[in-house]
Amino acid sequence: MKKLLLFAVVALMMCACGNETKNETNANPTTETMDFLELTQQRYSERFFDSTKMVEQEKLDRILEAGRQAPTAANKQPQRLYLLKSKEALQKAQSASFSSLYNAPVVVLVCYDLDSTWHNQRETLLPEYNSGEQDCAIVATQMMYAAEEQGVHTIWIRGFDAGALQKVLDLPANIIPAMMLPLGYPTANSAPSPMHFKRKPMEEFVTEL
Ligand SMILES: Cc1cc2nc3c(=O)[nH]c(=O)nc-3n(C[C@H](O)[C@H](O)[C@H](O)COP(=O)(O)O)c2cc1C
C-alpha cells in the first residue's frame, strides 16, 4: 500500500513536471523565434526549378493565405495578385523580364493599385510617397516563407520592365507590377548561389543611435 502511494506521488510529480515543460516551451518566445530564424537561414533563391512538378493546390492556398494576412499601410490592401500558371501567361511574363523566371511552373505576380495605396502627404524628403512597394513587399515576403515552410522554393524577381509587363498581361494603367515570386520544386542542380552566403556582419547591418 505504502509502495502504491509512493508510486502515485511520483507519477503525479512527473505529470506536473511534464506539463510545466510543455507550457514553458509554448510560452518561450526564444524557441519560437529560433524556428523562424532557421527558416530564414534555410531559404535561398531557387534558380533551377523543376518545370514539370506543379505546386499542389493546398500548398498554393496556404501560401496565398499567408500573403493575404500581411499588414498594409492604413489597412488599405492595395495589393493585387495574379497567378501565372498557363504556358501563355508564363511566356508573356518572361518576355517582359530581363531576368530569367527560371522555368518555374507557377509565378505569383504581386502588383498594387496605385489608386488604393496610402499616400504620405507630410513627407518632406521624398517627392511623392505611396506605400504600394512596401505593402507588396510584405505580402511577397510572407508568401516566400509560407512556401519555404512547406518545402516549396521561391525566388524574388524584379528584373522586369513594369510597363512592358503591364502591357503584355493587359493590366489596367493603375495596376503597377511590384515583383514576381516564381514558386516550385528544385531539381538535382539546385543549390544556393555564392551570393546567398554573403551577409554583412551585424555591426554593419545595424547602427545604434
Ligand atoms: C528586390 C529583389 C529583387 C530581385 N530580383 C532578382 C531578379 O530579377 N533575378 C534574380 O535572379 N534574382 C533576383 N533577386 C534575388 C537576389 O539576387 C538574392 O535574394 C540575393 O542574391 C541573395 O541570395 P539568396 O536569396 O539566395 O539568399 C532579387 C531579390 C530581391 C530582394
CATH class of 65-182: alpha beta
Ligand 1 centre and the CA of 8: distance in Å?
60
- What pTM was computed for the model? 0.86
Whose C-alpha lies nearest to ligand 1, atom 22? 196
Bridge partners for 111 per DSSP: 80, 177
CA–CA separation, 170 and 163 (whole Å):
10
Least confident interval from 26-40, 92-106, 191-205: 26-40
Domains of the chain: which residue ranges?
65-182
Ligand 1 centre and the CA of 13: distance in Å?
53
Helix (H) or strand (E) holding 110: strand 106-113
Of 44, 48, 156, the residue with max ligand 1 atoms within 8 A of its CB, to mutate for a pocket test, comes to 156
Ligand 1 centre and the CA of 46: distance in Å?
9
Q: Evaluate if residue 130 carries a pLDDT over 60.
A: yes
Report the pLDDT averaged over residues 126-135: 92
How far, in Å, are 80, 82, 159, 181 from residue 165 at the CA level? 14, 12, 11, 14
Q: Evaluate if residue 18 carries a pLDDT over 50.
A: no
Q: What's the pLDDT at 34? A: 52
Q: Evaluate if residue 22 carries a pLDDT over 50.
A: no
Report the pLDDT averaged over residues 159-187: 98
